[in-house]
């Protein structure tokens, strides 16, 4: 059956992050949120009532709902592959929160399964599809900073146990700053500089256990299974390198440092854990003979706007691609390459040497200029 009109969405897992998705997806005219599912069906019901979604229930009920075409998997990293695979086997396209999975083998199997079944697999983050990132990406490709040579990124604070009521999974295998926040930074690097060729890294942790700070289980101790402070140096297939600090171990809160240096200029980008905004995208040029001492660096502003929309842009891009038969941007292949990079970082920490990243990926495309999430492009809105 060839479907037309707006694309039906079902959620599996409606915890903390689901509000951000529901806020946007219930407003995009090309999307219809059909059903919410969770192991905790009470939570599915309360989220459905909050966001005026007609149906709710278990994960299985989402998978058997004929009106659901894309399943959004917002479960925890350790179950991402199992839930995404079950959705593909039920004939649904899948959008999964990051990371795609926690090990190479099952994640590669998931990508292969989607291809075999001819279904789309999309992997967060979609922050890079935000207006700020897309503007910067097009500008860099058009030569704004000359040839990109290097990047510097930094994300540091004391960790998500200070705000997440279920923070244990963020310090377990598949968590830590590498797997929880790394996907934003490495995905953005891949979008701007292409596939990663190799990595070398150090990793440490400040303590073996932490305690939940908020929520009904505040005070509960949980183990820290992964490094919580990482310094990563990555090289790129197309040349250039990036150095990245990822830390849940510093009293200093400083996130979203993301700078790319080229032969002609440097660009200061938004936080890759946001869709742009927060601060202007600025460009610094070589001063050469115009330099004065002490050096005063003039900046040009490329964009100074808050993004029109946030989480859910990747689902929308995928929904429109399903109807048009074209490719979407935040693919399973990109998600796998980022996971492969992160596992290679872990291996580098253990082996104390450079590790080649075995996978590669076609440099991701950009959204069409003027991409409007609030346009009804699928002919589904009844004219008034």
Ligand X SMILES: NC(=O)c1ccc[n+]([C@@H]2O[C@H](COP(=O)([O-])OP(=O)(O)OC[C@H]3O[C@@H](n4cnc5c(N)ncnc54)[C@H](O)[C@@H]3O)[C@@H](O)[C@H]2O)c1
Q: Which helix (H) or strand (E) holds 365?
A: none
Between 172 and 345, name the residue whose CB sits nearer to ligand X: 172
d(CA 58, CA 38): 5
Which of 75, 134, 156, 344 is in the footprint of ligand X by CB under 6 A? 75
d(CA 378, CA 367): 17
Between 240 and 307, name the residue whose CB sits nearer to ligand X: 307
Q: Which stretch binds ligand X (CB under 6 A): 27-35, 38-46, 137-145, 345-353?
A: 38-46
Between 77 and 195, name the residue whose CB sits nearer to ligand X: 77
Which of 40, 67, 103, 225 is in the footprint of ligand X by CB under 6 A? 40
Which of 74, 114, 315, 319 is in the footprint of ligand X by CB under 6 A? 74
Q: Which stretch binds ligand X (CB under 6 A): 33-41, 236-244, 295-303, 315-323?
A: 33-41
d(CA 126, CA 148): 22
Helix axes 332-351, 182-193, angle to 10 degrees: 110
Tell me: does residue 270 bind ligand X (CB under 6 A). no
Contacts of ligand X in 12-31 (CB under 6 A): 12-17
Q: Which stretch binds ligand X (CB under 6 A): 34-42, 63-71, 200-208, 369-377?
A: 34-42
Which of 3, 39, 115, 204 is in the footprint of ligand X by CB under 6 A? 39
Backbone angles phi, psi at 232, to 5 degrees: -125, 135
How many CA atoms lie less than 13 Å away from 336 in the CB half-sphere?
20
Beta bridge partners of 10: 35, 71
The sheet carrying 229-236 orders its strands as: 299-303, 281-285, 265-268, 254-262, 148-156, 241-247, 229-236, 196-204, 355-356
Which of 26, 29, 43, 157 is in the footprint of ligand X by CB under 6 A? 43
Between 30 and 38, name the residue whose CB sits nearer to ligand X: 38
- Four-point Cα dihedral 349, 106, 74, 274, nearest 10: 40
Query: Which residues lie near ligand X (CB under 6 A)?
Result: 12-17, 38-40, 43, 59, 74-77, 79, 83, 97, 166, 180
């Amino acid at each position: 059956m060839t479907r037309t009109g707006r694309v039906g969405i079902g959620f599996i897992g409606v915890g903390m992050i689901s509000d951000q998705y529901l806020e946007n997806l219930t407003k995009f005219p090309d999307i219809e949120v059909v059903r919410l599912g969770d192991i905790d069906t009470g939570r599915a019901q309360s989220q459905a009532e909050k966001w005026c979604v007609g149906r709710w229930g278990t994960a299985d009920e989402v998978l058997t709902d004929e009106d659901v075409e894309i399943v959004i998997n917002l479960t925890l990293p350790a179950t991402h592959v199992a839930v995404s695979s079950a959705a593909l086997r039920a004939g649904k396209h899948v959008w999964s929160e990051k990371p795609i999975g926690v090990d190479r083998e099952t994640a590669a199997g998931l990508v292969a399964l989607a291809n075999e079944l001819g279904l789309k697999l999309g992997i967060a983050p979609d922050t890079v599809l935000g207006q700020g990132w897309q503007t910067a990406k097009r500008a860099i490709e058009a030569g704004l900073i000359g040839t990109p040579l290097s990047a510097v990124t930094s994300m540091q604070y004391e960790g998500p146990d200070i705000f997440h009521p279920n923070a244990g999974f963020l310090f377990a295998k598949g968590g830590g700053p590498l797997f929880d926040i790394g996907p934003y930074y490495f995905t953005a690097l891949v979008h701007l500089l292409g596939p990663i060729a190799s990595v070398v890294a150090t990793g440490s942790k400040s303590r073996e256990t932490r305690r939940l700070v908020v929520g009904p289980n505040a005070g509960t101790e949980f183990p820290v299974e992964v490094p919580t402070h990482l310094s990563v140096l990555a090289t790129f297939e197309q040349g250039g390198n990036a150095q990245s600090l990822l830390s849940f171990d510093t009293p200093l809160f400083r996130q979203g440092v993301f700078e790319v240096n080229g032969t002609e200029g440097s660009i200061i980008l938004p936080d890759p854990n946001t869709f742009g905004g927060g601060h202007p995208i600025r460009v610094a040029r070589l001063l050469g003979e115009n330099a004065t001492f002490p050096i005063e660096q003039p900046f040009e502003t490329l964009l100074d706007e808050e993004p029109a929309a946030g989480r859910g842009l990747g689902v929308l891009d995928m929904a429109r691609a399903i109807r048009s038969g074209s490719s979407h941007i935040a693919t399973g292949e990109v998600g796998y390459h980022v996971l492969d990079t992160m596992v290679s970082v872990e291996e580098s920490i253990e082996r104390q040497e450079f590790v080649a990243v075995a996978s590669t990926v076609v440099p991701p495309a950009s959204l069409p200029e003027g991409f409007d999430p609030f346009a009804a492009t699928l002919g589904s809105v009844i004219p008034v």
